[in-house]
């Protein structure tokens, strides 16, 4: 059985009954995930939840502001937050819960049902496909997820990530794909078009000399200087729509994994990725709890899909077992 409530009514009721009896589950549903395909899965998801006798209040968000507000106000009212959307939805809700966890004794457990385009983080924690996620919610299988933390340009403000941080192609490709998607909005909803935009985005990254990027990497008392086409810091094993660079990456081991790729040209890059399984042995990778990056000129970085501009240096660390989540029992 579900209850769907208007967003503004929801906020009023949260404020009015802030100390009321704790409810079981709230669903925060992002209909725009997966290039707008998320809402088409609503009937299937609700039927699965109902068939498993999972009670919930349902809220469908109109924008990111509503999503964040719902997550904030759910803290004192629900035992579990079930996010429906993609990795960005997962990250946004997690960010709000992490902010509250320092000042509030009760923080809801976070579960995720994946309806995004890639679902890399969601797949990495085992909450995919939808049926598997619903079963985990039914069983209330709980674990504690490591969280990546970064400080940018020595600022006091800190940011968190669940999946990955990247520079090089990890930012430039996303930037150009976003340009293509906005320019060809109708075509962007076709799956094959996403492959083509990725192809041309890589080419454009080299043509516009966004690549290579010079970076100084400090970790485990080591300092190396590299010219990279891609540098990724992973908390979860899957990256950029299912790429698995290394096999030993886990969001539960208290470690971050760094992966360095220094292909020099567009064609060398295509060849490298087309033979990735064979080339894994050639990858430069390492484990560390802390990683510092410095750049010879300001660059863009990507944090779980969000782009930060004109960055000169970054301090990255891991916070073990920071987020209480529902995942399938291994």
Confidence (pTM): 0.89
Evaluate the omega torsion of the peptide bond into residue 129 and state whether it is cis, within 30 degrees of 0.
yes
* The domain boundary residue, chosen from 140, 165, 183: 140
* The domain boundary residue, chosen from 140, 163, 178: 140
Does 177 lie in the same domain as 55? no
Whether residue 330 is contained in a domain is answered as: no
Does 256 lie in the same domain as 121? no
Q: CATH number for the domain including 297?
A: 2.60.200.40
**Enclosing domain of residue 86:** 2-140
Q: How many domains does the chain have?
A: 2
Q: How far apart are CA 198 and CA 192, in angstroms?
A: 10
* The domain boundary residue, chosen from 99, 115, 140: 140
Q: What is the pLDDT of residues 12-52, one digit of tens each?
A: 454 444 445 789 999 999 999 988 899 999 999 999 999 99
Does 175 lie in the same domain as 44? no
- Percentage of the residues of the chain whose pLDDT score is greater than 70: 92
Does 106 lie in the same domain as 163? no
Torsion, CA 322, CA 324, CA 328, CA 330, rounded to 10: 50
Listed in sequence order, the DSSP H helices in the chain are 7-16, 42-51, 64-74, 87-101, 120-124, 130-139, 169-183, 191-207, 266-274, 276-279
Whether residue 223 is contained in a domain is answered as: yes
Q: What is the pLDDT of residues 195-248, one digit of tens each?
A: 889 899 999 999 999 999 999 999 999 999 999 999 999 999 999 989 999 988
What's the sign of the alpha-carbon dihedral 171, 175, 180, 186?
positive
Does 22 lie in the same domain as 121? yes
> Largest alpha-carbon pair distance within the chain?
61
> CB–CB of 157/150 below 8 Å?
no
């Amino acid at each position: 059985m579900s209850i769907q409530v208007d967003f503004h009514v929801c906020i009023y009721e949260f404020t009015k009954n802030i100390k009321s009896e704790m409810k079981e589950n709230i669903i925060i549903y992002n209909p725009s995930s997966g290039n707008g395909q998320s809402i088409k899965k609503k009937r299937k998801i609700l039927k699965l939840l109902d068939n498993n006798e999972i009670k919930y209040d349902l809220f469908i968000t109109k924008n990111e502001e509503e999503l964040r507000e719902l997550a904030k106000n759910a803290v004192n009212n629900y035992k579990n937050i079930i996010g429906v959307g993609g990795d960005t939805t997962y990250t946004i809700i997690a960010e709000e819960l992490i902010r509250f966890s320092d000042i509030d004794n009760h923080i809801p457990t976070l579960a995720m049902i994946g309806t995004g385009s890639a679902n890399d983080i969601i797949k990495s924690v085992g909450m995919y496909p939808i049926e598997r996620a619903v079963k985990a919610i039914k069983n209330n299988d709980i674990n504690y997820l490591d969280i990546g933390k970064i400080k940018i340009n020595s600022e006091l403000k800190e940011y968190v990530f669940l999946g990955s941080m990247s520079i090089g192609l990890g930012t430039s490709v996303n930037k150009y794909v976003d340009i293509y998607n906005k320019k060809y909005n109708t075509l962007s909803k076709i799956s094959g078009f996403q492959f083509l935009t990725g192809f041309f985005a890589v080419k454009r990254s080299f043509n516009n000399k966004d690549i290579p990027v010079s970076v100084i990497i400090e970790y485990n008392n080591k300092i190396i200087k590299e010219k990279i086409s891609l540098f990724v810091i992973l908390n979860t094993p899957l990256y950029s729509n299912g790429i698995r660079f290394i096999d030993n990456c886990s969001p539960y081991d208290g470690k971050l994994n760094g992966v360095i790729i220094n292909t020099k040209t567009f064609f060398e890059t295509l060849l490298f990725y087309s033979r990735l399984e064979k080339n894994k042995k050639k990858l430069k990778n390492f484990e560390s709890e802390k990683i510092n990056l410095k750049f010879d000129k300001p660059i863009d970085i990507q944090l779980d899909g969000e782009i930060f501009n004109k960055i000169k240096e970054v301090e990255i660390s891991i916070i073990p077992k920071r987020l209480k989540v529902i995942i399938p029992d291994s």
